[in-house]
Amino acid sequence: MGQDDKRLLRTLRGGRCERPPFWLMRQAGRYLPEYREVRAAAGGFLDLCLTPELAVEVTLQPIRRFAMDAAILFSDILVIPYALGQTVAFEEGRGPVLAPIRTTGDLSRLSDAALHDRLAPVYETVRLLTKALPQETTLIGFAGAPWTLATYMVEGGASKDFATIKRWAYAEPDSFGRLIALLVDATADYLCKQIEAGAEAVQIFDSWIGVLPETELRRWGLDPVREIVRRVKAAHRDTPVILFPRGAGLLYETYAAESGADALSLDTAVPLGWARSALQGRCALQGNLDPVMLVAGGAALEREAERVLRQLAGGPFVFNLGHGILPQTPPDHVAQLADIVKGWKI
């Protein structure tokens, strides 16, 4: 099977298929009992991400059940701060906890000297997956965008108001810019190495860009990501890049015009008629079913999935969620959604 026979790759390159390809953000995870089993045996969450045999197994779990058109490498965006030397822990019920980086002085605690040695297990996972996946399934690599990574690195974990990172970025942009520059370098190299190991497309998650005002969003969201896309494309021009600037609002249009990405992943709030006319002529679109529809299931899920398909499947479109699957999602509802998308005729 040639690369362009794979539904996801063909669509990301602007081609047409008999139905849209689909995969789901966070398709591997706690909503699957078989994931919870491997997770419990792995010990820590980072151990799971950095043990190739286990990471391969949990990557394949949703594919076995639902035969998505793409598998996303199982890892986490926070392996980059870990590989740069920051202390990263995942605590039950609390999410990620990091020893915060908040000043120019703190930056000296980060170093890219061991970056790729520490990330070697991720590259090995990618290599193993290229052999383990069904031939029609596309392998997606991924990374967090610099701003989103920085929110965890500076706030020390999840945040409600992002006041610490914003204050640093607004009051001392040159100093904060050094952190972003380090993350641009690390992320571009990381994505290139995933592609060299066998990732066929990559997605960049900028999950927290929507908290910034316009000029700051351009500076800390769009500009660093555009540079990463440029570097990835310079080394691997045929590898599609999907970008998820969650919460960018009307600036999705600027991302479509300026980011260089092949596809934009729409968050749940993006109006689809607008997306079709303002964005879909410029790049492929992905999204944007509310993950809670997948928790609801039944008639609500069917109605909403069909609305998304009706609005966007006429152009280059990858069916997905507007954000990651929630842990309380019943696996049966994912099966229902897979049937709806696979039965859709363009």
Residues annotated as catalytic are: 26, 30, 39, 76, 152
Q: What angle do CA 142, 244, 173 make, to 5 degrees?
A: 95
Contact 59, 71 (CB under 8 A): yes
> Is residue 340 close enough to count as binding ligand CP3 by CB under 6 A?
no
What binding mask, one character per residue, do residues 299-328 give for ligand CP3 by CB under 6 A, x or -?
-------------------------x----
Between 148 and 239, CB nearer to ligand CP3? 148
> Is residue 77 close enough to count as binding ligand CP3 by CB under 6 A?
yes
> Is residue 153 close enough to count as binding ligand CP3 by CB under 6 A?
no
Q: Which of 21, 52, 96, 141 binds ligand CP3 (CB under 6 A)?
A: 96
> Is residue 255 close enough to count as binding ligand CP3 by CB under 6 A?
no
Q: Which of 28, 63, 228, 340 binds ligand CP3 (CB under 6 A)?
A: 28
* Residues 300, 70: Cα–Cα separation, whole Å: 25
Between 60 and 311, CB nearer to ligand CP3? 60
What is the nearest approach in angstroms of ligand CP3 to the Cβ of residue 58? Answer: 8
Q: Which of 74, 3, 61, 63 is nearest to 32 (CA)?
A: 61
Judged by CB under 6 A, the stretch of 24-32, 181-189, 227-235, 263-271 that binds ligand CP3 is 24-32
**Rg over CA atoms, the chain:** 19
Size of the site for ligand CP3 (CB under 6 A): 22
Q: Which of 57, 69, 76, 304 binds ligand CP3 (CB under 6 A)?
A: 76
Burial of 57 (0-12, 13-18, 19+ CB in 10 A): buried
CB-CB neighbours of 43 under 10 Å = 11
> Is residue 30 close enough to count as binding ligand CP3 by CB under 6 A?
yes
Between 265 and 311, CB nearer to ligand CP3? 265
Going from the C-alpha of 41 to that of each of 36, 47, 77, 92, 128, the distances in angstroms are 9, 10, 22, 15, 20
In the block, which residue shows the tokens 């740069």? 84
* Residues 186, 116: Cα–Cα separation, whole Å: 9
Contact 118, 82 (CB under 8 A): yes
Where on the chain is the footprint of ligand CP3 (CB under 6 A)? 25-30, 39, 45, 72, 74, 76-78, 90, 95-96, 142, 148, 158, 205, 207, 324
